[in-house]
Structure 1
Amino acid sequence: MAKKADTKGVAVVEQGVYPVPNIPMKELLGCIPTRLFQRSALHGSLYIFWDLFVIGCIWKTANYLDTFIDPAVIALPHPYAYTFARLALWAVYTFWTGLFATGIWVIAHECGHQAFSESKAVNNTVGFILHSALGVPYHSWRITHAKHHASTGHMTQDQVFVPHTRSDLGLPARNPEKEDLLGSRVAESVKQELWEAIGDSPIGAVIGSAKYLLGGWPSYILVNASGQKRYPKGTSHFNPTSPMFAAHQYNSVVVSTIGILIWLGGIFAAIYTYGFSTVFRVYLVPYLWVNHWLVLITFLQHTDPLLPHYRASEFTFQRGALATLNRSLLGDCGKLMGWIGAHATNGISETHVLHHVCSKIPHYNAWEATDILNKKLESHGIPYEGRPGGWAEVYRVFRECKFVEDEGDVVFFKNAYGIAQMRAQLPEEAASDSGIEVEK
């Protein structure tokens, strides 16, 4: 996005063009070999065992090294140095354990999509156990997550990461003489007014991003924070009569809540047996890391100045599915860390567009399917690869994606100056979902 200024005190930007797709599902799915849709509980289980094995090795290593942080074993220059060394050791443990535990979370999420096994009973049993062990109400979230997939990028139907509109934030109404709808021309006076209303200082953006990463997941599950705004305030995944759920899903929500109560009971029992400090460093801090990675990954998959959001008249399933991005998790720290991030989290960030096109493709087949799908999207000029995912990218996106307009059927995020990086290019002709051209 190139920036320039005209002679009348108006900032003008040269926006990128997003070609709104009309690709039939038959074409998107047809390019992927049938063998990649096959699911195997045995194959998927190997990844569960591997993640647990790696976590066990990290725990054993941390415990072993902890025995050396003792004045009788090693002489450090100050008594506090032993405390610092122990904190550093267990901080490393919690980071890596949380990263690989996120991989287990991803497999539980695949169970909710019925992508782990050909058997629905196996999927739901494994998913319930794994997600409950990570503090996730399995069926409750499975149900709303399916709605998210059905309506990704839909302004009034998507379940999470729904953009704030100008009116949501209480911003002044748009003056067509001073700023255009697309966000390509904004008067300097309007830029200043908007910045004063919603602009972030660097410190404020860091604090805001951190609060989002640490508290975003429990806030969403408990009270629908950052979720669909048409739901009543305080809508919860633990309320079986919530408008999120249909009447026939009541028992599933109750079972999910029972799973969480058992999980909480297990935590309190562990604290009683082993002490709070042990449970805190061995399980609770890694659990917070898992929540952090979950929010970081999903936020960056669905939030970027490149991505459109749709109102009902222009929304289709395919458009929503393609309004996401693949990102190399930790790739901003180098190729090795990018590989580790993808390996530990089973590629959920790197293959996300494919996951939205067909969520029943298991993660171990998603890599090859993603390569094939990427070629198809590239031929249509559709962006599918975002910048590497990490804390710096969360900070950038948090500052660049402030609001969308109340008007328009295809909208893009504007920043705190009211400037948007992209504009939509609608297709001249529509195509049906079957791949057969519809006469107009």
Structure 2
Amino acid sequence: MELSDEKESQKQSDIQEAIEREWDIPNFTMKEIREAIPAHCFHRDTFRSFTYLFNDLFIMSTLIYGASYIHTIPTAAIHIALWPLYWFAQGTIAVGLWFIAHECNHLAFSSSKIISHSIGLMVHSALLVPYYSFGITHSKHHKGNGHMTKDTNHVPLTRSQGGFPKRELDPAGKDGHNNMFDETPVVMFLHMALVLTFGMPSYILFNMSGQDYSTDKNNKSTWISHFNPYCPLFKEKDFWQVAHSVMGVSMMVGILIWIGQQWGLLAVIKFYMVPYMVMNIWIILITYLQHVHPDMPHYRGNVWNFQRGAALTVDRSYGPIVNYIQHHSGDTHVVHHFFSTIPHYHAVEATKHIKKVLGKYYFFDDTPILTAFHKSWKQCRFVEDEGDVVFYKN
């Protein structure tokens, strides 16, 4: 009897935060969810996918052509006004192109692997993303979303990893730790700006916000990067895919250097690099808000399964224009995590059906985007070292 009570006590301890938050662990099945979505939503139309790709390329080309005439306008004030408009518009459109390549990695662009991977490699390389390398780690993210040790994106720091006081010694109490300097608006703004601007390149180059491999005994590499085939992100069989990814990005860098030699470094910065930074800001903002929320937990092995993890994702609307331009990457991410081969042009319809099955476990947050980003940034600093269901603390 005592042993049984001890096991029950341990079980209760593992889900203590879920009990405190009145969080019910869901028990829906993948079969229930799939059957709720009409069969045609899973159909991939290669021709239709190409129309979206060409539409994005046409708009981006038109913007470049128009921007090439800005210098002919004699008024300096108009120059100052038009360049930021070009940078924002081009960077925003580029997000849509980025997500088309992302769909290629999931084979949502076409059922043909040759077509999907050929287009994806070209497009992501043009956007300085190592296509296959990113696809490998992104696949792990989908397979382990919301899992504390299997996920690869936006993995929460634990209390000990973040250097926070032990729970029983925390001066701010069991729910968090506050540092006056960290909370000053200027420091917070600068940190947020740095992450938004350089978060994507930092993740690609240095695995920032990814899984912690510092305690991995098999890790023989000090450079955890999507450009290093020998690091723990990859298996030995992935070598040539990583190599092809590096070659693709290297070719694009070579093209940019050549353009710089022909038309000058300033032209590369104005026409490509600044929109590239705007694109990265959008991608980090969107993906961060899809996976970081103060009311959404993470699971450990005793509780996690695929469908429970897939539901730990947040949909947000960025307004009808941006949603359309960016192929509904922000407002249909939940269904994407359940069925990643559903193309974006069916995702809105599929989301309407999936909501019926998920019920209260469907996360949609209509908080204004910048307010939501500030809220999550401030309240989502770490999770506890123990527990099978853990929520962010601040």
Equivalent residue number for residue 401 of structure 1: 380
Equivalent residue number for residue 253 of structure 2: 264
More helix by share: 2
Between 356-365 and 385-394, the greater mean CA deviation after superposition: 385-394
1:19-58 equivalent positions in 2, closer than 5 A: 19-58=24-63
* TM-score (normalizing by structure 1): 0.80
Q: Within the alignment, does 1:99 sit opposite 2:92 as a pair? A: yes
Kept after mapping to 2: 8 A contact 1:328/1:388: no
Equivalent residue number for residue 413 of structure 1: 392
Q: Within the alignment, does 1:288 sit opposite 2:277 as a pair? A: yes
| Alpha-carbon distance, 1:15 to partner | 7.0
Assess, with a 3 A threshold, how the Cα gap between structure 1 residues 198 and 374 changes in structure 2: closer, same or farther. Answer: farther
| Alpha-carbon distance, 1:40 to partner | 1.4
Kept after mapping to 1: 8 A contact 2:154/2:210: yes
Equivalent residue number for residue 324 of structure 1: 313
Q: Within the alignment, does 1:215 sit opposite 2:202 as a pair? A: no
Kept after mapping to 2: 8 A contact 1:296/1:394: yes
Distance in 1 (alpha carbons) for counterparts of 2:69 and 2:237 = 51
Q: Within the alignment, does 1:147 sit opposite 2:140 as a pair? A: yes
Distance in 2 (alpha carbons) for counterparts of 1:351 and 1:200 = 33
1:9-408 equivalent positions in 2, closer than 5 A: 17-70=22-75, 82=76, 84-175=77-168, 190=173, 194-196=177-179, 199-230=182-213, 233-329=222-318, 338-378=319-359, 381-388=360-367, 390-408=369-387
Distance in 2 (alpha carbons) for counterparts of 1:406 and 1:34 = 42
Equivalent residue letter for 2:383:
V
* TM-score (normalizing by structure 2): 0.89
| Alpha-carbon distance, 1:25 to partner | 0.4
| Alpha-carbon distance, 1:199 to partner | 4.3
Residues 108-159 of structure 1: CA deviation (Å, up to 9, x unaligned): 0000001111111111101000000000000000000000000001111100
Distance in 1 (alpha carbons) for counterparts of 2:39 and 2:48 = 17
Assess, with a 3 A threshold, how the Cα gap between structure 1 residues 17 and 63 changes in structure 2: closer, same or farther. Answer: farther
Equivalent residue letter for 2:364:
E
| Alpha-carbon distance, 1:390 to partner | 3.1
| Alpha-carbon distance, 1:16 to partner | 5.2
Assess, with a 3 A threshold, how the Cα gap between structure 1 residues 387 and 135 changes in structure 2: closer, same or farther. Answer: same
Equivalent residue letter for 1:138:
Y
Distance in 2 (alpha carbons) for counterparts of 1:40 and 1:407 = 46
Assess, with a 3 A threshold, how the Cα gap between structure 1 residues 350 and 388 changes in structure 2: closer, same or farther. Answer: farther
Kept after mapping to 2: 8 A contact 1:162/1:226: yes
Equivalent residue number for residue 15 of structure 2: none
| Alpha-carbon distance, 1:251 to partner | 0.6
The secondary structure found in structure 2 opposite 1:196 is coil
Larger Rg: 1
Distance in 2 (alpha carbons) for counterparts of 1:386 and 1:131 = 29
Assess, with a 3 A threshold, how the Cα gap between structure 1 residues 40 and 205 changes in structure 2: closer, same or farther. Answer: same
| Alpha-carbon distance, 1:248 to partner | 1.3
Kept after mapping to 2: 8 A contact 1:241/1:247: yes
Equivalent residue letter for 2:198:
G
Equivalent residue letter for 1:141:
F
The secondary structure found in structure 1 opposite 2:210 is coil
Kept after mapping to 1: 8 A contact 2:159/2:384: yes
Residues 336-357 of structure 1: CA deviation (Å, up to 9, x unaligned): xx11110111001100000000
Kept after mapping to 2: 8 A contact 1:377/1:384: no
Assess, with a 3 A threshold, how the Cα gap between structure 1 residues 239 and 389 changes in structure 2: closer, same or farther. Answer: farther
Assess, with a 3 A threshold, how the Cα gap between structure 1 residues 16 and 281 changes in structure 2: closer, same or farther. Answer: same
Distance in 2 (alpha carbons) for counterparts of 1:363 and 1:192 = 39
Residues 159-195 of structure 1: CA deviation (Å, up to 9, x unaligned): 01011111112121112xx88xxxxxxxx86489921
Kept after mapping to 2: 8 A contact 1:300/1:389: no
Assess, with a 3 A threshold, how the Cα gap between structure 1 residues 189 and 354 changes in structure 2: closer, same or farther. Answer: closer
Distance in 2 (alpha carbons) for counterparts of 1:383 and 1:256 = 35
Amino-acid identity (%)? 40
Unaligned runs of at least 5 residues, structure 1:
1-13, 71-81, 180-187, 330-337, 416-440
Equivalent residue letter for 1:301:
Q
Equivalent residue letter for 1:171:
F
| Alpha-carbon distance, 1:58 to partner | 2.6
Assess, with a 3 A threshold, how the Cα gap between structure 1 residues 281 and 313 changes in structure 2: closer, same or farther. Answer: same
